[in-house]
């Protein structure tokens, strides 16, 4: 074996991802050394409980409950504990001690990213986080490196596997949200507390990370508009299907021309919500728990990145790619690649967003109602592109269900108009309002 320089690698966490990273690092050490140009010595693995059950057997002598000695003298620290603390403190400590960091921790990066990148910048260290958005899918490096010479206009991502699994099954089977969620929990696709996934928090963290990179702007998590999928029901799915759409939970990161809010005339919008996606769009064919990120760049055009967004061994692939990159940099020397946030574009609230909408209303079935609804829409500067009416016969009375597709409208105008429809006296119920993306 080539006599490589030896690098000390410390691993914090040996759960679903960490145990696979350790196993692969030990199994393919020689091969990874050839690729990295350095031998990667796994010096220890910190865990909470030495006796916890693990997906793979790891050498007992590598496990410790005390991360401190591992951090001292490490060249590369891999953080796979998750959560904010003690991950944040350990990473800051490792950076202070001169290590490069590899992490998959989206929650930490989305909330404390600027602090960590600043600390790394000060000592010329690097933070690698390919696994923090969309698991095994290479998307961080393409945005940071491959597209560094281009201008990203828009990213639309299916970045949460649990919600895609649920929506996909609802679409295929016509089932209700609660039934599919219960099934997903039984099968291990959803957590017992599914809030982070179904309310869009996990996708919002990834959206903040992707938008920060794509638009060279520090995007705080608080600037990401977030809506989950809990109100999506079988009727909405059915209506979407009939209209040629599928409902997907999307993370949308978009560059906007908005002279009002920025001297440069540009701003960005970052949002997570369930949206109607045309069935012929590449994102519509992302099934099960898979993820995909659709990127539109000024020169490159449309690009699609697709694959496993989670899973221990799949995510370990992205982590190990980062470990090899970190090792190469260590060997080559020089300061790390800092995060570019120089564009510093303002992130606009959801009210500024311009998109198309599908509004479903329940109205009285009587003459003049259609004209009244059209009048409210026109007063609100929302113009109708398509309209479909279905008569619903109930026990006592007959009502009509209107499905209105709009031309592009500003979100604030649309939301004011929906309020006005609700108050108009002719609308019995606003059944749903969904944005249309990707057409």
> For the CA atoms of 121, 123, 124, 129, what is the dihedral angle to 10 degrees?
-60
Burial group, residue 29, by CB count within 10 angstroms (0-12, 13-18, 19+): middle
Q: Pairing mode, if any, of strands 290-297 and 152-158? A: antiparallel
For residue 105, state whether it binds ligand NAP (rule: CB under 6 A): yes
436 in a labelled binding site: no
For the bound state, the minimum distance from the C-beta of residue 12 to ligand NAP, rounded and expressed in Å, comes to 7
For residue 321, state whether it binds ligand NAP (rule: CB under 6 A): no
Cα gap 256→265, rounded to integer Å: 8
Chain mean position to CA 408: 25
Chain mean position to CA 154: 14
The H-or-E segment that residue 400 falls in is strand 398-406
Max alpha carbon distance in the chain (Å)?
87
For residue 182, state whether it binds ligand NAP (rule: CB under 6 A): no
Q: Which stretch binds ligand NAP (CB under 6 A): 74-82, 143-151, 266-274, 431-439?
A: 74-82
Q: 401 Cβ partners below 8 Å, 6+ apart?
A: 360, 361, 362, 363, 389, 390, 391, 392, 431
For the bound state, the minimum distance from the C-beta of residue 137 to ligand NAP, rounded and expressed in Å, comes to 10
Residue 27 is a catalytic residue: no
Applying CB under 6 A, which of residues 14, 147, 198, 369 lies at the interface with ligand NAP? 14
Cα gap 331→14, rounded to integer Å: 26
Nearer to ligand NAP among residue 284 and residue 318 (C-beta)? 318
For the bound state, the minimum distance from the C-beta of residue 315 to ligand NAP, rounded and expressed in Å, comes to 4
For residue 336, state whether it binds ligand NAP (rule: CB under 6 A): no
Nearer to ligand NAP among residue 15 and residue 278 (C-beta)? 15
12 in a labelled binding site: yes
Structure tokens belonging to residue 115: 């602090």
For the bound state, the minimum distance from the C-beta of residue 161 to ligand NAP, rounded and expressed in Å, comes to 8
Binding mask 38-57 for ligand NAP (x = CB under 6 A): --------xxxx--x-----
17 in a labelled binding site: yes
For residue 9, state whether it binds ligand NAP (rule: CB under 6 A): no
For residue 18, state whether it binds ligand NAP (rule: CB under 6 A): yes
Q: 393 Cβ partners below 8 Å, 6+ apart?
A: none
Applying CB under 6 A, which of residues 7, 13, 184, 406 lies at the interface with ligand NAP? 13
Cα gap 71→291, rounded to integer Å: 34
Q: Which residue is nearest to ligand NAP (CB)?
A: 15
Applying CB under 6 A, which of residues 4, 15, 111, 266 lies at the interface with ligand NAP? 15
188 in a labelled binding site: no
For the bound state, the minimum distance from the C-beta of residue 181 to ligand NAP, rounded and expressed in Å, comes to 19
Q: 120 Cβ partners below 8 Å, 6+ apart?
A: 95, 101, 126, 127, 336, 338
Residue positions in the annotated binding site for L-homoserine? 191
> Which residues are near ligand NAP by CB under 6 A?
13-18, 46-49, 52, 80-82, 86, 104-106, 131, 135, 310-312, 315
The residues annotated with a catalytic role in the active site are 206
């Amino acid at each position: 074996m080539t006599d490589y320089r030896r690098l000390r690698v410390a691993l914090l966490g040996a759960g679903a991802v960490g145990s696979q990273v350790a196993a692969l690092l030990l199994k393919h050490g020689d091969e990874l050394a050839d690729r990295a140009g350095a031998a990667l010595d796994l010096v220890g693995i910190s865990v909470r409980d030495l006796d916890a059950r693990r997906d793979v057997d790891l050498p007992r002598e590598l496990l410790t409950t005390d991360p401190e000695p591992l951090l001292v003298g490490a060249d590369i620290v891999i953080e796979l504990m998750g959560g904010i603390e003690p991950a944040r403190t350990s990473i800051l400590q490792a950076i202070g001690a001169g290590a490069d960091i590899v992490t998959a921790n989206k929650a930490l990066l989305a909330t404390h990213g600027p602090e960590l990148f600043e600390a790394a910048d000060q000592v010329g260290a690097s933070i690698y986080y390919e696994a923090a958005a969309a698991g095994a899918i290479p998307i961080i490096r393409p945005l940071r490196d491959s597209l560094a010479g281009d201008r990203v206009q828009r990213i639309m991502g299916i970045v949460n596997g649990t919600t895609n699994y649920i929506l996909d099954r609802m679409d295929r089977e016509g089932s209700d949200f609660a039934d599919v969620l219960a099934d997903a929990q039984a099968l291990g696709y959803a957590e017992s507390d599914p809030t982070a996934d179904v309310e869009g928090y996990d996708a919002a963290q990834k959206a903040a990370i992707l938008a920060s990179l794509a638009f060279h702007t520090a995007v705080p998590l608080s600037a990401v508009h977030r809506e989950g999928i809990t109100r999506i029901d079988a009727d909405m799915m059915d209506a979407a299907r009939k209209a040629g759409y599928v409902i997907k939970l999307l993370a949308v990161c978009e560059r906007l021309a908005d002279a009002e809010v920025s001297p440069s005339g540009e701003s960005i919008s970052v949002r997570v919500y369930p949206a109607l996606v045309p069935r012929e769009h590449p994102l519509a064919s992302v099934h099960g728990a898979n993820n995909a990120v659709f990127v539109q760049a000024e020169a490159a055009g449309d690009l699609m990145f697709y694959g496993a967004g989670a899973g221990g061994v799949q995510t370990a692939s992205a982590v190990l790619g980062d470990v090899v990159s970190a090792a190469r940099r260590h060997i080559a020397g020089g300061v790390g690649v800092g995060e570019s946030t120089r564009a510093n574009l303002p992130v606009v609230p959801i009210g500024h967003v311009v998109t198309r909408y599908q509004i479903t209303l329940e109205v009285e079935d009587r003459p003049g109602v259609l004209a009244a609804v059209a009048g409210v829409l026109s007063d609100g500067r929302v113009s109708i592109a398509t309209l479909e009416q279905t008569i619903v016969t109930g026990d006592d009375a007959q009502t009509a269900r209107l499905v209105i597709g709009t031309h592009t409208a500003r979100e604030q105008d649309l939301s004011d108009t929906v309020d006005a429809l609700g108050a108009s006296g002719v609308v019995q119920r606003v059944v749903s309002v969904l944005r249309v993306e990707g057409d």
